[in-house]
Structure formats: structure tokens, C-alpha cells
């Protein structure tokens, strides 16, 4: 029984370490993207303040700012209210990923006879639910896209 506990602990720690590294990487990428957007807007602001700027260039810069504002205005209300949508997406994805990876690792560990849980009644549904949680957002986006395109004529 002691070996079984060690194997389960190693699987859980490994899954947590991978999830934590993915989370830290995504936070760093998001901060980098926010900083790049801030720099871009500062450059555009400085360019618009320049009195020697040609009218065509000024119009193009204003058009780019208007496109950014329109994109921000079309974002869902929960994105405008502090990025709650991103938080829920991360929670959904993280939960699904944990279920899928931990369930899959436990099934693999039992397959390699590292543990003898003999509890496929829990492990298999956990893996299937985790997989469904990972693929559901993509499937919903695809269905929405297909609905917007309309029926295909043959």
C-alpha cells in the first residue's frame, strides 16, 4: 500500500507542477501583451501630437484607434468588467485539464501495474469528463461559426 501512495502522490505532484508552469507562462504572456499594447498606444499618441504629421497619416492613425475601440466595444460585458471571462475560462480549462491528466495518469499507472486501484468506476469517468471540458469550448465556437455561415448548398 505504501508504493501505491507514493505513485499517486508523484502523479498528482507532476500534474500540479505542469499546471502551475502553464499558468505562470500564460500570466507572463498576458502581461507582455498588455505592455506591448500600452507602448503601441503611447507611440500613436505621440505621433498624433506632432503638428507636422500629414493629414493622410493622421487619418490612418485615427482609423487604427477607432478599430481598436470598436473591437474593445464589441467584447462581452464580462470582459469589460475586469476580465472575469478570462478567469472563468482559465478555471474551466484548468479543471478539465486536471481531471483529464490525473485520470489518464492513474489509468496509465494502473496499466503499467504501478498502482492497483481497480477503481475504473471513478477514474474512467474523471478522464472522460476532463476531455469533454477541454473540447467543449472549441466545439461550441465551431457550432456558432457554422450557424453564422448558414447551411451548405450541395
Domain count, the chain: 1
What does residue 69 show for φ and ψ, rounded to 5 degrees? Answer: -65, -40
In a domain, 123, yes or no: yes
Whether 125 is in a domain gets the answer yes
Q: Is residue 76 part of a domain?
A: yes
Residue 32 lies in a domain: yes
Mean pLDDT of 102-121: 77
Average pLDDT over residues 104-122: 77
pLDDT tens readout for residues 21-43? 887 888 888 888 888 888 888 88
Any domain includes 152: no
Say if 154 falls within a structural domain.
no
Q: How many whole angstroms separate alpha carbon 128 and alpha carbon 58?
A: 54
Quick: pLDDT tens for 52-69: 888 888 888 888 877 776
CA distance 103 to 123: 5
C-alpha cell of residue 133: 471540458
State CA 15 to chain mean position distance.
17
Inside any domain, residue 153: no
> What is the pLDDT of the chain when averaged over all its residues?
78
Domain extent at residue 124: 2-147
Amino acid at each position: 500500500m505504501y508504493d501505491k501512495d507514493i505513485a499517486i502522490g508523484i502523479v498528482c505532484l507532476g500534474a500540479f507542477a505542469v499546471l502551475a508552469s502553464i499558468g505562470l507562462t500564460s500570466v507572463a504572456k498576458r502581461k507582455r501583451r498588455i505592455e506591448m499594447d500600452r507602448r503601441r498606444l503611447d507611440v500613436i499618441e505621440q505621433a498624433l501630437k506632432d503638428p507636422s504629421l500629414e493629414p493622410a497619416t493622421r487619418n490612418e492613425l485615427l482609423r487604427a484607434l477607432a478599430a481598436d475601440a470598436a473591437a474593445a466595444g464589441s467584447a462581452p460585458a464580462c470582459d469589460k468588467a475586469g476580465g472575469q471571462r478570462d478567469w472563468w475560462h482559465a478555471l474551466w480549462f484548468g479543471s478539465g485539464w486536471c481531471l483529464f491528466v490525473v485520470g489518464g495518469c492513474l489509468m496509465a499507472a494502473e496499466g503499467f501495474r504501478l498502482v492497483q486501484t481497480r477503481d475504473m468506476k471513478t477514474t474512467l469517468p474523471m478522464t472522460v469528463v476532463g476531455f469533454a471540458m477541454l473540447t467543449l469550448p472549441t466545439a461550441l465556437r465551431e457550432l456558432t461559426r457554422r450557424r453564422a455561415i448558414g447551411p451548405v448548398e450541395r
